[in-house]
Amino acid sequence: MANRMGLTLLSRSDNVGVARVALAAFAAQLSFTLSDLEEIKVAVSEAVTNAVSHAYPGAEGEVAVSATADGDLLTVEVRDAGVGIPDVAAARAPSFTTVPDRMGLGFVFMESFMDELEVSSAPGQGTTVTMRKRCRPQAG
Amino acid sequence: MANRMGLTLLSRSDNVGVARVALAAFAAQLSFTLSDLEEIKVAVSEAVTNAVSHAYPGAEGEVAVSATADGDLLTVEVRDAGVGIPDVAAARAPSFTTVPDRMGLGFVFMESFMDELEVSSAPGQGTTVTMRKRCRPQAG
Amino acid sequence: MPVHLTHQLMTNYLIIRVSGELDLHAALEFRHKVEDELARTSSKHLLLDFTALTFIDSSGLGAILGRYRTIRQLPGKMSIFGAGGTVRRILELAGISKLIPLCETERQAASC
Amino acid sequence: MPVHLTHQLMTNYLIIRVSGELDLHAALEFRHKVEDELARTSSKHLLLDFTALTFIDSSGLGAILGRYRTIRQLPGKMSIFGAGGTVRRILELAGISKLIPLCETERQAASC
Ligand SMILES: Nc1ncnc2c1ncn2[C@@H]1O[C@H](COP(=O)(O)OP(=O)(O)O)[C@@H](O)[C@H]1O
Ligand SMILES: Nc1ncnc2c1ncn2[C@@H]1O[C@H](COP(=O)(O)OP(=O)(O)O)[C@@H](O)[C@H]1O
């Protein structure tokens, strides 16, 4: 039967690591390889970092991370109630960033390291990022 | 300013580790020693294990773990909506257990490893365990 | 870090090496592994190698005490070696060390 | 695991050893540490020791590229050594290795 978890954090840089370890421990219940788990950590880190860096400019808000583990499928959702993204397609493009000093690689890494990425956002409506990754049957 | 987090899990044995690492990562933001963090892990493990083992006999339910870090004070609350404890004072006594094969040391460890422990429970009303621990100023 | 269990059969005893975290979830796996290996190898004496054990709580202690009862009925002997830091403190705090010798090395554990 | 930064001043270059996780939170500390040590020691060449770096994401990459810009303006040279596993893959995926040489050892890094 499916397992699920929910995690609520404040949009602070020192909470990104909390999300990362919690999600990695949760994902470890499926038969992901160590390298898969590293990739999941990067993807979660990017999604939570975005909520922390972009969603609440000059203010503090909540970031909700939830996950389900169902069969071989991990689904991770990172949600904020922040400013939202005016043009999601543009934001997902490599090197696109609205903050000098950032790389514009967050969405690129989420896409590279997970099997699927959905971004649902609108100005003033917050942002929800949904990522999915399947574990492959292990050899042996 | 205070930091806070909330974590919701299903009452499954493989979720105890998720709570443990998440809370340890959160607590690490305060200036606890490594040995303090080990103690916090044990206390969280005991409280979540109790909710998993005792709160929902023969069923699955939710376990909510929340924490705040305020100044030098960590507060952890572990809450379930399960069967509750008829006699809290008796349950807290060393070696008291209602499950053969268990040690009856859960509450004892929570008490030993944290500065304060409050248990609020009644039959049919669920159980809330609140634990507090302060970090001491570090030498140097 | 999930628990990881390996075993090694010596002339006079069985060693179970436990690495990772021995909590409620791992306790079940630990119990099965130890009981299965004791039966399969007809061993009477058990050494637990805790060198790489990073965490234990009261559920883990319960699993150890359960195996202690099995061993006493055989009757056989049981000892623990390599436990350090918080793991050792918890074994001592719970009084496990009064029942099961805590040794530094395998050699010491094998001879007590 | 939070980031941990140490430095070592050699005749011709400054080494910053980074252990733990280089994410958004650590990036700030990394930036300050590197900029401070470069200024304090008047170093022009920077070697980053990633042997004990266990995690990096795009915020960590941004902090590295920012220091690369500082070094180029001096002008000086910068290289990275000891990066393995997923850390190395991410440095390569992001094209960092096209700008900053990724070396196996300190010796190689010091001579490129
Ligand atoms: N949760 C969010 N809330 C508001 N804006 C966001 C959010 N996530 C991403 N964005 C926008 O999308 C852009 C691209 O994001 P990303 O690819 O992660 O790169 P970076 O974070 O380095 O800028 C960001 O610069 C920001 O403008
Ligand atoms: N969350 C809970 N819900 C219901 N009963 C509980 C809960 N926590 C503890 N108890 C009761 O208190 C007893 C003592 O708990 P504890 O000291 O942790 O020992 P143990 O878990 O080993 O039995 C348990 O055996 C159980 O009957």
Of C21, C24, C57, the CB nearest to B109: C57
Task: Report CA(A66)–ligand 2 centroid distance (Å).
Answer: 28
Query: What pTM was estimated for this model as a whole?
Result: 0.94
pLDDT one-digit tens code per residue, C2-59: 789 989 888 889 999 999 999 999 999 999 999 999 999 999 999 999 999 999 999 9
The answer to whether A43 touches A20, Cβ cutoff 8 Å, is no
pLDDT score recorded for residue D10: 84
pLDDT for residue C10: 84
Using the beta-carbon criterion (under 8 Å), do A42 and D86 form an inter-chain contact? yes
Nearest residue to D47 (alpha-carbon basis) of D38, D57, D56: D38
| pLDDT for position D12 | 84
| Average pLDDT of the segment spanning B53-64 | 97
* ipTM, interface predicted TM-score of the complex: 0.94
Phi and psi for C71 in degrees, rounded to 5? -65, -40
Between strands B127-134 and B73-80, the pairing is antiparallel
pLDDT at A140: 46
Instruction: Tell me the average pLDDT of chain B.
Output: 96
Q: What's the average model confidence in pLDDT over C77-93?
A: 95
> Where residue D36 falls among pLDDT bands split at 50, 70, 90?
very high
Minimum mean pLDDT range among A20-29, B15-24, B130-139: B130-139
Q: Could you tell me how many residues make up chain B?
A: 140
Better-scored residue on pLDDT, D10 or C102: C102
pLDDT at B140: 45
Of the candidates A1, A10, A25, which has its C-beta nearest B18's C-beta?
Answer: A25
Residue C12 and residue C45 in contact, taking contact as beta carbons nearer than 8 Å: yes
C20 chain-B contacts, CB cut-off 8 A? none
Q: Which residues have C-beta within 8 Å of that of residue D103, sequence separation ≥ 6?
A: D79, D80, D81, D109, D112
| C-beta of B107 in contact with ligand 2 (< 6 A) | yes
Nearest ligand, measured from the Cα of B56: 2
Average of per-residue pLDDT values in chain D: 94
Percent of chain B with pLDDT over 70: 98
% pLDDT > 90, chain D: 88
Determine the distance in angstroms separating the CA of B60 from the nearest CA of chain A, rounded to an integer.
11
Q: How deeply is A71 buried, as exposed, middle or buried, from its count of CB atoms within 10 A (0-12, 13-18, 19+)?
A: exposed
Question: How much is the pLDDT for A1?
Answer: 79
Paired tokens of B18: 């998720």
Which tokens is A48 given?
Answer: 């939570």
Q: Answer whether C85's CB lies under 8 Å from C50's CB.
A: no
Q: Is the peptide bond before D75 cis (omega within 30 degrees of 0)?
A: yes
Q: Does the CB of B31 have a partner CB in chain A at under 8 Å? A: no
Q: Model confidence over D72-96: pLDDT tens digits?
A: 999 999 999 999 999 999 999 999 9
pLDDT tens digits, one per residue of B35-51:
999 999 999 999 999 99
Mean pLDDT, all residues of chain C? 94
What would the two tokens of residue B45 be?
């493990």
How many whole angstroms from D29 Cα to the centroid of ligand 1?
Answer: 22
**Better-predicted residue by pLDDT, B101 or B32:** B32
Which ligand 1 atom is the nearest neighbour of the CA of A103? Answer: 22
Predicted confidence (pLDDT) per residue in A15-67, tens digit: 999 999 999 999 999 999 999 999 999 999 999 999 999 999 999 999 999 99
DSSP-derived pairing of the beta strands B73-80 and C102-103: unpaired
Residue B138 pLDDT level (bands cut at 50, 70, 90): low
Per-residue pLDDT at A138 exceeds 70: no
What is the full DSSP assignment across A29-69?
TS---HHHHHHHHHHHHHHHHHIIIIISTTS--EEEEEEEE
Ligand closest to Cα of D27 equals 1
Touch between chain C and chain D: 3 or more Cβ pairs under 8 Å? no
B3 is catalytic: no
Q: List beta partners, residue D55.
A: D21
Cα–Cα distance, C25 to B14 (Å, whole number) = 5
User: Closest to A10 (Cβ–Cβ): which among B3, B18, B25?
Assistant: B3
Q: Do A25 and B21 touch (CB under 8 A)?
A: yes
Subunits close to B (at least 3 CB pairs below 8 A): A, C
Reported as a single tens digit per residue, the pLDDT across A83-98 is 999 999 999 999 999 9
Catalytic center residues of A: 46, 50, 102
Which pLDDT score, from 0 to 100, does residue B1 have? 79
Ligand 1 atom with the shortest distance to the CA of A96: 14
CA A103 to chain centre: 16
Ligand 1 centre from A54 Cα, in Å? 6
pLDDT band (50, 70, 90) for residue A139: low
B70 touches chain A (CB under 8 A): no
Q: Flag whether pLDDT at D50 surpasses 50.
A: yes
Closest residue in C to B52 (Cα) is C24
